[in-house]
Amino acid sequence: MFRNAPASAWSPGALSKTAYVPEAEAPSVLLTVGDGDTDAFTYFGFTRAAARTSAEVPALVQRHRPAVAFVDADAPHVDAEACCRAANAHGLEVAVLVTCRAPQQVPALLIAGAHAILLKPFAPNLLAGRLGRLVREHTEHRRLSGWRNDAPFASHLIRRWADVCCPTCQEPNATAFDFTSHRRAWFACLACAHVWIDARREPV
Ligand SMILES: [Zn+2]
């Protein structure tokens, strides 16, 4: 799963200063990874429920009610789109972060309900930061949903820009889903499934 990450970056000591530690309750991370360094998630402060295939996801979501799910779209026997749909089915809204190697996969993942995307390879502290932010946003969403449960969960890690048009089909409302640097970001067109790199934008 994290084959391209530097091996030295996985030491608990390297993560301890940046890892997110939940305050009130320990949320679970649901993993649909058949192999890999999944024990590293314990360093991030999560209780972990592991699924080796996407077929196991619905039962584990029902049993553990995780706040956040981490889906490796490249793992064997993992259908990431099915995982996204299962995590958000039956009113059990789970924040889903999907990692994948090919950006071309991303439009379908966003349509299936992924709340955050992390392209490989990535640094472990970036994963910790994204998971932490997802949990904070999801916790706030659940807190507010008592009186405003008509709005589905949406993370600010994915942003739709009305004035960014697809260079292929000219549709507006491009979706920024990951960054390549401080100045460049990945965009996706959900109309024609094109992905491209463009200038990074920040909300005003
Ligand atoms: Zn397009």
CA of 45 to the centre of ligand 1 (A): 39
pTM of structure: 0.81
pLDDT at residue number 9: 38
Residue 199 Cα to ligand 1 middle (Å): 17
Q: What's the gap in Å between 195 CA and the centre of ligand 1?
A: 8
Mean pLDDT, the chain, integer: 80
**Cα separation values, 109 from 18, 47, 91, Å:** 28, 25, 19
| pLDDT, position 40 | 59
- Taking a 5 Å cut-off on Cβ, the residues next to ion ligand 1 are 166, 168-169, 171, 189, 191-192, 194
| Distance of alpha carbon 32 from the chain centroid | 12
Which residue did the predictor score with more confidence, 108 or 132?
A: 108
Q: 176-191 pLDDT, tens per residue?
A: 999 998 999 999 999 9
Angstrom distance (rounded) from CA 171 to CA 188: 11
pLDDT digits 0-9 by tens, 52-94: 888 888 888 888 888 888 899 998 889 999 999 988 886 778 8
Distance 170 CA to ligand 1 centre (A): 6
- For 67, other C-beta atoms within 10 Å of its C-beta total 24
| Contact (CB, 8 A) for 103 and 119 | yes
Say how many residues make up the chain: 204
